[in-house]
Amino acid sequence: MAKIWIQPGQDALAERYRAVRALTQALAAPLSDADATVQSMPDASPAKWHLAHVSWFFETFVLRDHVEGYRPFDDRFAYLFNSYYEAEGPRHARPMRGMLTRPSLNDVRAYRAHVDAALLAAMPHLPEAACTLVTLGLQHEQQHQELLLTDLQHLFSLNPIAPALFDAPRAMPAPVPGPLHWIEGREGLVEIGDDGKTGFAFDCEGPRHKVFLRPHALAHRPITNGEWIGFIEDGGYHDPALWLSDGWAWVQAEGIEAPLYWQRGEQGWIRFGLDGRQPVNPAAPACHINLYEADAYASWAGARLPTEAEWESAALNIAPTSGEQLDGAACPRPRAAEDGTSLTQMFGDVWEWTGSAYRPYPGFRTAPGAVGEYNGKFMSGQFVLKGGSCATPRGHVRASYRNFFHPHQRWQFTGLRLAKDL
Amino acid sequence: MAKIWIQPGQDALAERYRAVRALTQALAAPLSDADATVQSMPDASPAKWHLAHVSWFFETFVLRDHVEGYRPFDDRFAYLFNSYYEAEGPRHARPMRGMLTRPSLNDVRAYRAHVDAALLAAMPHLPEAACTLVTLGLQHEQQHQELLLTDLQHLFSLNPIAPALFDAPRAMPAPVPGPLHWIEGREGLVEIGDDGKTGFAFDCEGPRHKVFLRPHALAHRPITNGEWIGFIEDGGYHDPALWLSDGWAWVQAEGIEAPLYWQRGEQGWIRFGLDGRQPVNPAAPACHINLYEADAYASWAGARLPTEAEWESAALNIAPTSGEQLDGAACPRPRAAEDGTSLTQMFGDVWEWTGSAYRPYPGFRTAPGAVGEYNGKFMSGQFVLKGGSCATPRGHVRASYRNFFHPHQRWQFTGLRLAKDL
Amino acid sequence: MAKIWIQPGQDALAERYRAVRALTQALAAPLSDADATVQSMPDASPAKWHLAHVSWFFETFVLRDHVEGYRPFDDRFAYLFNSYYEAEGPRHARPMRGMLTRPSLNDVRAYRAHVDAALLAAMPHLPEAACTLVTLGLQHEQQHQELLLTDLQHLFSLNPIAPALFDAPRAMPAPVPGPLHWIEGREGLVEIGDDGKTGFAFDCEGPRHKVFLRPHALAHRPITNGEWIGFIEDGGYHDPALWLSDGWAWVQAEGIEAPLYWQRGEQGWIRFGLDGRQPVNPAAPACHINLYEADAYASWAGARLPTEAEWESAALNIAPTSGEQLDGAACPRPRAAEDGTSLTQMFGDVWEWTGSAYRPYPGFRTAPGAVGEYNGKFMSGQFVLKGGSCATPRGHVRASYRNFFHPHQRWQFTGLRLAKDL
Amino acid sequence: MAKIWIQPGQDALAERYRAVRALTQALAAPLSDADATVQSMPDASPAKWHLAHVSWFFETFVLRDHVEGYRPFDDRFAYLFNSYYEAEGPRHARPMRGMLTRPSLNDVRAYRAHVDAALLAAMPHLPEAACTLVTLGLQHEQQHQELLLTDLQHLFSLNPIAPALFDAPRAMPAPVPGPLHWIEGREGLVEIGDDGKTGFAFDCEGPRHKVFLRPHALAHRPITNGEWIGFIEDGGYHDPALWLSDGWAWVQAEGIEAPLYWQRGEQGWIRFGLDGRQPVNPAAPACHINLYEADAYASWAGARLPTEAEWESAALNIAPTSGEQLDGAACPRPRAAEDGTSLTQMFGDVWEWTGSAYRPYPGFRTAPGAVGEYNGKFMSGQFVLKGGSCATPRGHVRASYRNFFHPHQRWQFTGLRLAKDL
């Protein structure tokens, strides 16, 4: 399980706790009770459920297990807001999360306040094991902050009146970026993965281990919307030779013609976002594409996706707090790409699909108990994404971070960076 | 299409308009924005959608078509709140009605107020054709009042915390009723169906026509929950010989063991209703059963379902305002059955499944235009139910009224009365 | 259950037995083992299964139950070849009938011979009840003769090489028939249904009972392919106003543009039949349409479907052996329509959809025991068809005969005759 | 694409061609036309289809492309028997392969003879590129030999009479093997993958590349049926903590309790095979388990699955022709496990699931043209299996061989060997 930053003291943890919890509240502030309740698809959860589930995590693994005399806010919530922890007993079926019109959004806010008060009161006395769980809970809540935004975007996209949750960010000047540059990667034996010494990491990020890399290069920036339109106009969605077999079946079955949330307007492509319907910005990174689309684009471009080892070893000297990331309750939106002769936008903007299946690193073992279900049991059928996105809370991501989704999923802020063999 | 009561004057229509619209508002009063937004299954609609759709009906067929200078409240609502009128153009997909977190419940209330103001202002000047449509719109809204209640009950039933929308009605004394009496029906040629002369009726209720009836009898009251428990305990849900083939397939596929909303408690059967979870009342009519269950029960009892002609000819001299029907914003609940030597509970309490498929009466023709889609196009695959229920607004139902649902559906207040050949 | 023709003697029954069984063999003669084994859809059965199932019927209800010392051909066959008789115990799942590559077609032929020998040997000594069951079994086998042909046609239609099972019938001269004539029907009280006195009838054909008919007329002949092409060219498959709601949903979901087995060729419409791909004959009755299509055509033509009572009362004086029916192992094909001033093609050619749901006649009761499952349990969700088709063995059908299929099904030889109110 | 053994001359190729083609014929010899026609599930193909498809491969890529004047046996076969080569144009839908009752099995045998005659006649004059394709075609046919057997086993398993295609192999003495021994693997940098120099290999087996291995050990033999029964009896199929999340969902949805083809008998477990129903042999390797089951077993045993690099580096010095493999037309069956202090049964007996996702090796590129679709497009969602099985034609497999299936699939001869970290 997770390793923890050496705490300079409980005050730092409390401060961090307050900050993370406040951001969640701020993100949910513009929501109506209805906005917060509806589930748009089984993959997504209602905003209210996110708000409650992250609180259940603290309530269960910290307050219930480590704080004597704690009384749960509502005994029924364990059933409602457990996500997938089999060890914690039966729970409400995932595809039915949207049926919970009660408790209300305000009830859930009261639940959050109850947990916050209890946890902050207990924090000075928590044993180290519990502090570790608080830190894990905060990382967990940050993950749900991003999901809350992407799930809301999906929900609102299904409303014909296309509501905007946030104001559109001020239009940024967006010169069309010049061509890709190729940046040579490291070659031979490299070490990747978390070493358990330098701060928090999820269990799946380690152990640190050696990987042998062949000569290769990464593109200096992600593929842009403008380039993606070139792929569309060249018939990319109609040429089976470019696609993985499963990907081509998906394209055919769903009639896919463009990234998620795109539609053709009279004057070009329009995309839906949390700021409503807006013209596609050709300078910004292509977004809301799945692994199949990323792979097909790479085939079309005569390139390939990077492996996670290539990506991580290239990112080691880049500040993980760089790039467009989530700093507050505002509309997440990838910035325009930049020209450059070194790697840009490795962190933030869009999660970058790698060609690596999400599997355990050599020597990985799941932790005992419910928290051991956090990551390990999902290690089949998914691919690794790296680098965070414009919806990732700044400070959350790092080079060793392994995000993962199924190859058909594309409602996250997902894009791609090309790689090639040298 | 519908025939209209001879209006004593516009005032009566306006009064009736105000009363019907006010009841809808009252039924929705206890709802949160979230309660009013979620769709629990494709067969059901969100409460907010019901509230808006019935207003769209008036706005479209009366205000738009008959009131010069009327400006729609919101041009996008025609797309959102058209139910199934192909002639009115494309519309939001039915299974996606629950995605409409916006407009809010308050927006919809404002929409209702806008339509009410415009319609009441226009009413003194409306041509007769438009008054006919107002009357139709009110009957239509009454149908949605019942659906609003049954759809909310279905939604709340899927919430593990089992919310109660209304207080439980005061417990009524419920002596177990004595055995069924059989009341002989009319024999030979009878006339059924609406004659178009005595008040409002939906188009499908006519033309009036002759039917030849064999000697038969109807049970004096509906089957009770107590009797239904006897069916369960005798293995009724496990004996294929009792079931229609489609019904047996449904029982097997869904693992059905009891009526909808029933679960076994430690001290007997519990049912969920708009007053939450309550013990099953053995004296009350069995409810939330489908055609397959009704037919299987009848087979088990050595009887059969009545035809709609038998039912209607027996009901001709019974006041259609009798029985437990909806009088205001309170929990609908079938009353206990009564002993008696004449027909009881023919109206109200529970809709009674007939063995008649919902097909056009001899000479039936659909009206031209969108309103012609009201009934005729649904005349395949459904069965007729008679008599109204505890959730039917009092004054809405009559002997010629033909309600219809598919044989597998059971979320309405549906029960059965036995018939037999003599 | 079935009533039986007064037998002039066992010889007649034996002769009839031999004739029916021989026709089945002849129909299956051109089949390969593979042809006879594959199941093309859950609604259809493999030819081999038909051949065995009808033999199981005799073996079970006659030989096992009435002939002492009879030894079943193979104890495993009861499990394999019971169709839907719950009272006869568990059985092979219907959608898996095509998995039975063993027993082989030759094994099944041997099974047939075994049953034939035993039954013919026992026949002189059979009690009357058993003779009744033999007669029922022969009627049953005739039904399966028609299904065998329609199921093979469906199977072969899914083979891109479009095999022809039979030679194409000699091209018959086919002048385009003139316009429809309308033949007035009987009015007032009529009697329909089997009276149990004049020969074999299935249980569902009775009891004989009175129905009151309004003034109406039937078209003198079925609708032709030429007229159906007019419906297509007028946009009939694209106008929701013509369709039942369920029918329109089916058209949309399946992308329907024409009757089953039709495809557009370079020189007009081509249809697939047991004689392979052939041009559509504009003079022949439209065929392989379902209830939704029949109903939509009638709406388009300003008419309606006949009720079963209208159809039957009109057919009473027409010889049920008239029309194109199955006389031997040759390609079934509806003849060209004829001009005329009286009803033509009422029997044979194509089954005619009625607007009547398949429900029990007044006073109908199912027989006790397994044979009681023959008809009654299918009385929901289906519509009645009348008159037989070119694939119905001549001698099988009669005016009171009630065939039934679901409204979406169209792989039988199904067409329509219009009716209208006067 | 594939690299080819340096041919000592055309004679060797012709001899090998004759041998491979003859084995296919022999395997299909006991089949009836029906056996060869039916498709038991979309994942499987009819035997007849296998026989024809492998011939189509030679006909298309060798005869059509490299032999002037070759006339196809039947122009329609390209449509019928192309499997998934998009570059070769449209083709019969995979789930409909079982509808092809024509051409018959004998027709397909004639097709094979036609191709054989043309190819053997042309062989002396074939250019090297074409010889490469003949070699590829033979490897391809060997893959289909194994699939033909596994698909037939699946088909026959769905027949309640459980036909045996082959006689049961003579019962081999089967002492229960002793406990697992752990054999240390190589550590540090190893090279795996095909080097393109030493004989035929599929494109996906290369390029040869370096992988860094941590200290680890492999079990000396596969897990046996006896050990698997221990897993069952310990509740392995009922403990979610042992399972990948997708695996647990599969167990729950399908109600899985044992390997495929197992059922509980009165005296212990029975399994179905091509020799019919037989008692499970506790000494033989567990078989017909999927990746989820293999992974769950490993978790239960406190171990893990080997990676493909671990497996391959351990197998380098073991003869790939060792173990139980397919030598002729007889029932494939894994032999009993052996005690030992070195690796046993690495080749043959059962394919061994690895924990490695099937993804391209570093530097892998697909070949241009249709043959480039052979492997590369399937590199998502599947896992690698190593070592061949009792149904793999001897001579086909090698250490670098990468077989691949989806994690839920288990109708192949698939088992597992444990690994652990040291």
CB A35 within 8 A of CB B36: no
- Mutation for D interface: C74, C80, C101, C104, most D CBs within 10 A: C101
pTM for the model: 0.96
Q: Is the predicted pLDDT of residue A182 greater than 80, yes or no?
A: yes
The CA-atom distances, in angstroms, between A308 and each of A188, A355, A417 are 15, 7, 12
What does the pLDDT average to over B83-101? 93
In a domain, D109, yes or no: yes
Q: How far apart are CA D232 and CA D228, in angstroms?
A: 6
CB B123 within 8 A of CB B14: yes
Query: Cβ separation of D40 and C163 shorter than 8 Å?
Result: no
Q: Is the predicted pLDDT of residue B2 greater than 70, yes or no?
A: no
Which of A374 and A398 is assigned the larger pLDDT? A398
Give the 3-state secondary structure of D48-94: HHHHHHHHHHHHHHHHHHHCCCCCCCCCCHHHHHCCCCHHHCCCCCH
Give the strand order in the sheet containing B216-219.
B182-184, B216-219, B419-421
Residues in D touching C155 (Cβ below 8 Å): 99, 101
- Six token digits for residue A121: 């009161």
The residue among D110, D142, D157 that closes a domain is D157
Residues D228 and D299 in one domain: yes
CB C108 within 8 A of CB C52: yes
Query: Cβ separation of B101 and A40 shorter than 8 Å?
Result: no
CB A237 within 8 A of CB A257: yes
Q: What is the mean pLDDT of chain D?
A: 94
Q: What is the pLDDT of residues B217-271, one digit of tens each?
A: 999 999 999 999 999 999 999 999 999 999 999 999 999 999 999 999 999 999 9
Q: Is the predicted pLDDT of residue D67 greater than 50, yes or no?
A: yes
Residues D97 and D187 in one domain: no
In the block, tokens 């010629």 appear at B400
Query: Cβ separation of A359 and D363 shorter than 8 Å?
Result: no
pLDDT of residue C77: 97
In a domain, D297, yes or no: yes
What does the pLDDT average to over A379-403? 97
In a domain, C61, yes or no: yes
pLDDT of residue A4: 39
- Mutation for B interface: C359, C366, C380, C421, most B CBs within 10 A: C380
**Interface pTM, i.e. ipTM:** 0.95
> Beta partners for D116?
none
- Shortest distance, CA C381 to any CA of chain B (angstroms): 5
pLDDT of residue B173: 64
Across A380-389, B293-302, D85-94, least confident range: D85-94
The CA-atom distances, in angstroms, between A81 and each of A46, A90, B99, D386 are 11, 11, 22, 42
Residues in C touching B377 (Cβ below 8 Å): 243-245, 248
Amino acid at C282: P
* b/e code B25-56 from CB counts within 10 Å (16+ = b): eebbeebbbbbbbbbbeebbbbbbbbbbbbbb
Q: Decide: helix, strand or coil at residue B421.
A: strand
Residues in C touching D102 (Cβ below 8 Å): 32, 34-35, 159, 161, 163
In a domain, C174, yes or no: no
Q: What is the pLDDT of residues A273-320, one digit of tens each?
A: 999 999 999 999 999 999 999 999 999 999 999 999 999 999 999 999
Query: Cβ separation of A161 and B103 shorter than 8 Å?
Result: yes
Q: What is the mean pLDDT of chain B?
A: 94
pLDDT band at A7 (very low <50, low <70, confident <90, very high): very low
User: Under an 8 Å CB criterion, which residues of D touch A?
Assistant: 84, 86-87, 189, 209-214, 240-241, 243-248, 291-292, 295, 304, 307, 355-357, 359-360, 362-363, 373, 377-381, 383, 407, 421
Q: Does D have 3 or more CB contacts under 8 Å with B?
A: no
Residues A45 and A194 in one domain: no
Q: Decide: helix, strand or coil at residue A158.
A: coil
CB A371 within 8 A of CB A1: yes
Give chain A's domain count: 2
Residues A249 and A355 in one domain: yes
- Comparing alpha-carbon positions, the chain C residue that sits nearest to B292 is C380
DSSP state at residue A134:
H
pLDDT band at B1 (very low <50, low <70, confident <90, very high): very low
Q: How far apart are CA B178 and CA B167, in angstroms?
A: 30
- Mutation for B interface: A31, A101, A157, A277, most B CBs within 10 A: A101
Nearest to A38 among B37, B76, B159 (CB): B37
Query: Which of A392, A396, A371, A376 has the alpha carbon at shortest distance from A57?
Result: A371
The residue among B157, B173, B197 that closes a domain is B157
What does the pLDDT average to over B128-140? 96
Nearest to D211 among A212, A243, A248 (CB): A212
In a domain, D163, yes or no: no
pLDDT band at C10 (very low <50, low <70, confident <90, very high): low
Q: Decide: helix, strand or coil at residue A133.
A: helix
pLDDT of residue B171: 67
Query: Which of B412, B414, B228, B225 has the alpha carbon at shortest distance from B337?
Result: B225
How many Cβ atoms from other residues are within 10 Å of residue C322's Cβ?
Answer: 16
Q: Is the predicted pLDDT of residue D351 greater than 90, yes or no?
A: yes
The set of residues, in sequence order, having a beta carbon less than 8 Å from that of C72 and lying 6+ positions away, is: C59, C63, C64, C78
Residue C16: its H or E element: helix C10-28
Residues C195 and C311 in one domain: yes
The CA-atom distances, in angstroms, between C137 and each of A38, A164, C23 are 57, 69, 14
Q: How far apart are CA D204 and CA D358, in angstroms?
A: 9
Q: What CATH number is given to the structural domain containing C230?
A: 3.90.1580.10
pLDDT band at C391 (very low <50, low <70, confident <90, very high): very high
pLDDT of residue D291: 98
Long-range contacts formed by D258-266: CB under 8 A, 24+ apart: D258/D232, D259/D228, D259/D286, D259/D287, D259/D288, D259/D289, D259/D293, D259/D410, D260/D288, D260/D289, D260/D410, D260/D411, D261/D153, D261/D157, D261/D288, D262/D288
The CA-atom distances, in angstroms, between B331 and each of B146, B170, B324, B385, D99 are 12, 10, 11, 22, 57
Residue C121 burial class via C-beta count within 10 angstroms: exposed 0-12, middle 13-18, buried 19 and up: exposed
Q: What is the pLDDT of residues B159-213, one digit of tens each?
A: 999 999 999 877 666 788 999 999 999 999 999 999 988 889 999 999 999 999 9
In a domain, C129, yes or no: yes
Residue C226: its H or E element: helix C225-233
pLDDT of residue C9: 58
**β B383-386/D216-219 pair status:** unpaired
Rounded to 5°, the CA angle D398-D404-D408 comes to 140
> Beta partners for B207?
none
CB D144 within 8 A of CB D83: no
In a domain, B165, yes or no: no
The residue among C157, C172, C203 that closes a domain is C157
Give the strand order in the sheet containing B262-265.
B262-265, B268-273, B276-279
Range of the domain at A108: 10-157
Q: What CATH number is given to the structural domain containing B88?
A: 1.20.120
Residue D273: its H or E element: strand D268-273
pLDDT band at B6 (very low <50, low <70, confident <90, very high): very low
Give the strand order in the sheet containing C262-265.
C262-265, C268-273, C276-279
Residue D414: its H or E element: strand D414-415
In the block, tokens 């033979």 appear at D138
- Six token digits for residue D322: 């060792």
Residues B74 and B191 in one domain: no
User: Under an 8 Å CB criterion, which residues of B touch C?
Assistant: 84, 86-87, 189, 209-214, 240-241, 243-248, 291-292, 295, 304, 307, 355-357, 359-360, 362-363, 373, 377-381, 383, 407, 421
Residues D378 and D303 in one domain: yes
**H helices, E strands: number in chain C:** 10, 12
Q: Is the predicted pLDDT of residue C14 greater than 70, yes or no?
A: yes
Residues C152 and C187 in one domain: no
CB D45 within 8 A of CB D151: yes
- Six token digits for residue C327: 């006389």
Residues A19 and A115 in one domain: yes
Q: Does C have 3 or more CB contacts under 8 Å with B?
A: yes
Give the strand order in the sheet containing A276-279.
A262-265, A268-273, A276-279
How many Cα atoms within 13 Å fall on the side-chain side of residue C95?
4
- Six token digits for residue C295: 């109903």
The set of residues, in sequence order, having a beta carbon less than 8 Å from that of D150 and lying 6+ positions away, is: D44, D391, D411, D412, D413
Query: Which of B113, B114, B13, B108 has the alpha carbon at shortest distance from B53?
Result: B108
Residue C403: its H or E element: strand C403-405
Query: Which of B49, B46, B50, B74 has the alpha carbon at shortest distance from B60?
Result: B74
Residue C368 burial class via C-beta count within 10 angstroms: exposed 0-12, middle 13-18, buried 19 and up: exposed
Amino acid at C193: G
Residues D213 and D248 in one domain: yes
Q: How far is CA D98 from the centre of its chain?
A: 21
pLDDT of residue D374: 84
pLDDT of residue D369: 77
DSSP state at residue B22:
H
Spell out where C180-332 has E strands: 182-184, 188-192, 209-213, 216-219, 262-265, 268-273, 276-279
In a domain, B167, yes or no: no
CB A105 within 8 A of CB A31: yes
Query: Which of A6, A93, A19 has the alpha carbon at shortest distance from A327?
Result: A19
Query: Cβ separation of D378 and A295 shorter than 8 Å?
Result: no
In the block, tokens 């959809």 appear at C353
Residues D207 and D257 in one domain: yes
Q: How far apart are CA B315 and CA D341, in angstroms?
A: 89
Which of D376 and C54 is assigned the larger pLDDT? C54
* b/e code B372-401 from CB counts within 10 Å (16+ = b): bbbbbbbbbbbbbbbbbbbbbbbbbbbbbb
Q: Is the predicted pLDDT of residue B141 greater than 90, yes or no?
A: yes
Residues D136 and D221 in one domain: no
DSSP assignment string, D171-216: PPP-PPP----EEE---EEEEES--SSSS-B-GGG-S-EEEEE-SE
pLDDT of residue C171: 67
